[in-house]
Amino acid sequence: MPDNPTPATPVSTPAAPAVTAAPANPTTNPPTNPPITTATGAATPPPLHPDQHPRWHWLLARSGRIGTGVVVLAAAAWFGPDLVLGPRVELLTVRQGDLVQTVVASGRVAAPHRVSVGVQITGTVADVPVQEGQTVASGDVLIRLNDTELQATLLQARLNSAQADARLRSLQALQAPLAAQAVLQASATHTQMQRTLLRSRELVAQGFIGQAALDDSLRAERVAAAQLDITKRQWASALPAGTDHQLALTTLALARAGDDAARARLAYAVVRAPASGVLIARAVEPGDVVQPGKVLMLLSPAGSTELVVQIDERNLRLMRTGLTALASADAYPNERFDARLVFINPGVDAERGAVEVKLAVPRPPPTLAQDMTVSVDIEVARRTNAVLIPTAAVHDADTATPWVLRLEGRHARRVAVVPGLRSGSQLQALPGPVGSDDSKDNNNSSAPPLKAGDRLVPVATASIVAGQRLRAAGPASAASSAASAASAVVKTPTQPTAP
């Protein structure tokens, strides 16, 4: 064992580092490498994780900028035309043509008057030879009543009339001559009695007869005188101016009147059409007991035909007699016929806010029947070769200063409109001073007037304002094709408000 042995150098073994649980995601928690101790004792830095490498961070940053650029380029490619050239808008086109403003209304067919048919006497219906809807001529039989009793009454009246006539003839041919002869006979008797009385008075004066004989002669003369007076009165009565003759004439006239009354009542048993026309209602059947005052049939006389329609009171200012119209029955919509406004009711229906007007139909079609529903287009105004603006493009259309947005170049320009004839879908632009007052032209410089082919921005496109860039969504030829329709007629119906 050597002296002074060299002391042993203690070797210290480093303690193992404690292991800490780390998340499994290496990108969020990269592993930490412990430093490496060399033989000389110098510590060298541990190797870097790929996520901690500077080049890796540069690649990540570069890829982020590239993605952002791609997004920006895609957005520019998508929204760029609208931002640079303006949005696409479906434009409306101004056209030139004839504008006809009409008021459209519905109504019914009516005759100027209707005839109510009934009976004039109470009786039992024997026959009804017509049907509802049948066309009848004046004098055609509509209703027959049982006339047995009426026939007997007529026969009795005829006999009474014949009897009165025979009595008058007897008075004229027999009684009057007999009365005249009786007057002559009574006159002769009276003359004889007067002579006898005179002779009796002479004999009494001579004393040949007594007073009693004179009294008998006087009495006989007076009786003869009375008889003469009676026969004269009878004869005068039988003369045409006499009472018997007048009584006979009156009796005959009364009998003849009874005959006429019986004939009339018998005629009442047959109800005839008072005029030619169409039977539009029938409320009687054979066997019914009918009486005066009850309407049994309704007759529409032939001849002039009228249309009765209701017009919205707001359109009353447009109405005047003489206006022409085209009408058609709803049952035959393709058969249109002419009509003319002939009457405007001065009153207004407060419940419906409507005014009744009547139109005459000079040549009604054969298919037009009573009470049919008809549609009528009344022409209230007409403009030829007018500049027509779609009302869908007119702003403030209900005011006195409407305006539109017109496409000029690539910008919307606000243009004032001088309104003319207004309709439901068209507005006439009258020639006059037209101004442009958009946001880019505050000095209200004059702008070209609207003309056929101009393209307008619809009111529904509220996002477009004056001065804004925009693009027409349709082809450019749409304007020229719309302008070529100048010869077309625009009919604008104006419907009445429903009650």
pLDDT tens digits, residue range 143-158? 999 999 999 999 999 9
- The Cα–Cα gap between 282 and 289 comes to 15
Q: Are 391 and 437 in the same domain?
A: yes
Q: Are 209 and 293 in the same domain?
A: no
8 Å CB contact between 99 and 383: yes
Q: Are 283 and 371 in the same domain?
A: no
Within 8 A by CB and 6+ apart from 372, the residues are 108, 109, 329, 330, 331
Q: Are 235 and 292 in the same domain?
A: no
- Is 15 a domain residue? no
- Is 110 a domain residue? no
- Is 40 a domain residue? no
- The closest of 335, 338, 348, 350 to 305, measured between CA atoms, is 338
Range of the domain at 138: 118-143+272-297
Q: What is the CA 169 to chain-centroid distance, rounded? A: 69
User: Domain boundary at 268, 283, 316, which?
Assistant: 268
pLDDT confidence of residue 433: 58
- Is 169 a domain residue? yes
Q: Are 235 and 139 in the same domain?
A: no
Q: Are 291 and 208 in the same domain?
A: no
Count CA atoms closer than 13 A to 2's CA, side-chain side: 4
Domain count, the chain: 3
Please give the model's pTM, rounded to 2 decimal places: 0.50
pLDDT confidence of residue 87: 87
Supply the CATH number for residue 136's domain: 2.40.50.100
- Is 326 a domain residue? yes
H-helix segments, 87-147: none
Q: Are 439 and 328 in the same domain?
A: yes
Query: Residue 376 forms beta bridges with which residues?
Result: 105, 327
pLDDT confidence of residue 445: 47
Q: Are 125 and 167 in the same domain?
A: no
- Is 19 a domain residue? no
Question: 51 φ, ψ to 5°?
Answer: -70, -20
Radius of gyration over every alpha carbon of the chain, rounded to an integer in angstroms: 61
- The Cα–Cα gap between 478 and 472 comes to 10
- Is 31 a domain residue? no
Q: Are 363 and 250 in the same domain?
A: no
User: Domain boundary at 268, 285, 319, which?
Assistant: 268
Q: What is the CA 9 to chain-centroid distance, rounded? A: 129
Q: Are 432 and 444 in the same domain?
A: yes
Amino acid at 244: D
- The Cα–Cα gap between 259 and 253 comes to 10
Query: How would you classify the pairing of strands 36-37 and 43-44?
Result: antiparallel
Q: Are 280 and 387 in the same domain?
A: no
Q: What is the mean pLDDT of each run of 10 residues along the chain (499 residues)?
A: 39 38 43 48 52 52 54 48 73 89 90 87 94 91 94 92 85 77 83 85 83 84 86 79 80 90 92 90 93 92 86 91 94 93 92 92 87 92 88 88 90 90 81 54 59 90 87 55 37 41
- Is 60 a domain residue? no
Q: Are 449 and 410 in the same domain?
A: yes
Supply the CATH number for residue 396's domain: 2.40.30.170
pLDDT confidence of residue 232: 82
Query: How would you classify the pairing of strands 88-89 and 471-472?
Result: parallel
